C-alpha cells in the first residue's frame, strides 16, 4: 500500500483517524458498557489516567496529524485524479475531528499558563 496512490492514502488516513473517533464517540455518547469498561481500564482509583490510558489517548491523538499528512500527500504530489476529492474530504474530516481537541488544549493553556486563573488542573 503506497501513500502516493490517492485511494490507498485516503483509506489509510481514515483508518488512522478511526481510533480517536471511536474513543471520543464512546466518551461523548456515554455508550454503556463500553464507556465503563474503558474508564476502568484507563484510570486509576483517583480518576487520573494510568499508563495504558495515557498510551491509548496519546497514541490516538498522535495518529491524527499523521492521518492528515497521509491524506494530503497525494494531493501535493499529484496523485490519481478521481480520488483526490476523497483525500480532501478525509483531510477535512480529520481536521474537524481534531479541531475541538486543539481548541480545548489551547484554551486551557491560555487560562492556566498565560492568565494564571484559579482552578487550573
The predicted pLDDT at position 16 comes to 93
List pLDDT tens digits, range 1-57. 565 678 888 899 999 999 988 888 888 888 888 888 888 888 887 877 788 888 888
79 burial (CB, 10 Å; 0-12 / 13-18 / 19+) is buried
The rounded mean pLDDT for the chain is 84
List pLDDT tens digits, range 56-114. 888 888 999 999 999 988 888 876 677 788 888 999 999 998 888 888 888 888 888 78
Amino acid at each position: 500500500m503506497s501513500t502516493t496512490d490517492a485511494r490507498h492514502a485516503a483509506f489509510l488516513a481514515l483508518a488512522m483517524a478511526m481510533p480517536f473517533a471511536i474513543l471520543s464517540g464512546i466518551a461523548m455518547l456515554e455508550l454503556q458498557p463500553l464507556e465503563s469498561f474503558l474508564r476502568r481500564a484507563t484510570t486509576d482509583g483517583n480518576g487520573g489516567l494510568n499508563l495504558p490510558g495515557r498510551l491509548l489517548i496519546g497514541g490516538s491523538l498522535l495518529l491524527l496529524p499523521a492521518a492528515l499528512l497521509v491524506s494530503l500527500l497525494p494531493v501535493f504530489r499529484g496523485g490519481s485524479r478521481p480520488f483526490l476529492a476523497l483525500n480532501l474530504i478525509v483531510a477535512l474530516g480529520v481536521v474537524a475531528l481534531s479541531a475541538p481537541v486543539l481548541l480545548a488544549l489551547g484554551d486551557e493553556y491560555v487560562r492556566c499558563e498565560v492568565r494564571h486563573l484559579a482552578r487550573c488542573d
